[in-house]
Chain A
Amino acid sequence: MSDLTEFTLAGARDAVRAKKVSSTELTKAFVSAIEGARTLNAFVTETPDRAIGMAKESDARIARGEARPLEGLPLAIKDLFCTKGVRTTAGSNILNNFVPPYESTVSQNLWDAGAVMLGKTNMDEFAMGSSNETSYYKPVINPWRARNSNQNLVPGGSSGGSAAAVSGNLCLGATGTDTGGSIRQPAAVAGIVGLKPTYGRCSRWGIVAFASSLDQAGPMARTVRDCAILMRHMARVDDKDSTSVDIPVPDYEATLEQGVKGLRVGIPKEYRIDGAPPEIDALWVKGAEWLKSQGAEIVDVSLPHTKYALPAYYIVAPAEASSNLARYDGVRYGHRTKDTVRDLTDLYEKTRAEGFGKEVQRRILIGTYVLSSGYYDAYYTRAQKIRTLIKRDFEQAYEKCDVLLTPATPGPAFALGEKSNDPVSMYLNDVFTVTVNLAGLPGIAVPAGLTENGLPLGLQIIGKAFDEATVLRAGRAIEIVANFTARPHKWWTA
Chain B
Amino acid sequence: MSDRAAKTLKGQTGEWEIVIGMEVHAQVLSNAKLFSGAATAFGAEPNSQVSFVDAAMPGMLPVINRFCVEQAIKTGLGLKAKINHRSVFDRKNYFYADLPQGYQISQYKQPVVGEGEVTIDLADGVSVRVGIERLHLEQDAGKSLHDQHPDYSYVDLNRAGVALMEIVTKPHMRSSEEAAAFLRKLRAIVRYLGTCDGNMDEGSMRADVNVSVCRPGGYEKFRETGEFRHLGTRCEIKNVNSMRFIAQAVEYEARRQVDILESGGKIDQETRLFDSKAGETRSMRSKEEAHDYRYFPDPDLLPLEIDQAWIDGIARSLPELPDEKKVRFVGLGLSAYDAAVLVAEKETADYFEAMLAEGAEAKSAANWLNNEVFGRLNRAGLNVATSPVSAAQNAVILALLAENVISGKIAKDLLDIVWSEGGDPRAIVDARGLRQVTDTSAIEAAVDRVIAANPQKVEEAKAKPKLAGWFVGQVMKETGGKANPGVVNALVKSRLGIVDEG
Contact = CB atoms under 8 A, between A and B. Distances in A.
Nearest to A316: B299
A95 B58 contact: yes
B59 A242 contact: no
A308 interface: no
Contact of B58 (A100, A243, A323): A100
Interface residues of B, number: 30
Contacts of A104: 59
Contacts of B64: 242
Contacts of A320: 296, 299
A376 interface: yes
B95 A240 contact: no
A371 B296 contact: yes
A348 B99 CA distance: 13
Contacts of A243: 299-300, 302
B301 A242 contact: yes
A77 B58 CA distance: 16
Interface string A313-330: 000000110110111010
B58 A208 contact: yes
Nearest to A330: B97
Q: Is the interface of B mostly helix, strand, loop or mixed?
A: loop
Given A100-B57, A213-B299, A372-B294, A329 B95 contact: yes
Contacts of A100: 57-59
B61 A323 contact: no
Given A242-B64, A344-B97, A205 B296 contact: no
A332 B56 contact: yes
Interface in A315-374: 319-320, 322-323, 325-327, 329, 331-333, 344-345, 348, 368, 371-373
A207 interface: yes
A206 B59 contact: yes
Contacts of B59: 81-82, 100, 104, 204-209
Contacts of B228: none
B499 to A, nearest CB: 85
B131 interface: no
Given A102-B52, A323-B294, A368-B294, A240 B102 contact: no
Given A95-B58, A242-B301, A327 B101 contact: yes
Given A102-B52, A212-B300, A242 B61 contact: yes
Interface string B281-323: 0000000000010111001111000000000000000000000
A251 interface: no
A332 B55 contact: yes
A271 interface: no
B55 A326 contact: no
A368 B91 CA distance: 13
Contact of B296 (A240, A241, A323): A323
A156 B63 CA distance: 34
Nearest to A368: B294
A43 interface: no
Contacts of B294: 322-323, 368, 371-373, 376
Interface in A356-409: 368, 371-373, 376, 380
A7 interface: no
Nearest to B290: A373
Contacts of A329: 95, 97, 102
Nearest to A203: B61
Interface in A104-137: 104
A285 B61 CA distance: 43
A448 to B, nearest CB: 34
A38 B55 CA distance: 36
Top 3 nearest A-B pairs (CB, nearest first) are A326-B102, A213-B299, A371-B294
21 contacts: A82-B59, A100-B57, A101-B52, A102-B57, A208-B58, A211-B299, A240-B61, A240-B63, A242-B300, A242-B301, A242-B302, A243-B300, A322-B294, A326-B101, A326-B103, A327-B100, A329-B97, A331-B97, A332-B56, A371-B93, A371-B294
Given A209-B59, A326-B101, 4 more contacts: A88-B58, A323-B93, A326-B102, A371-B296
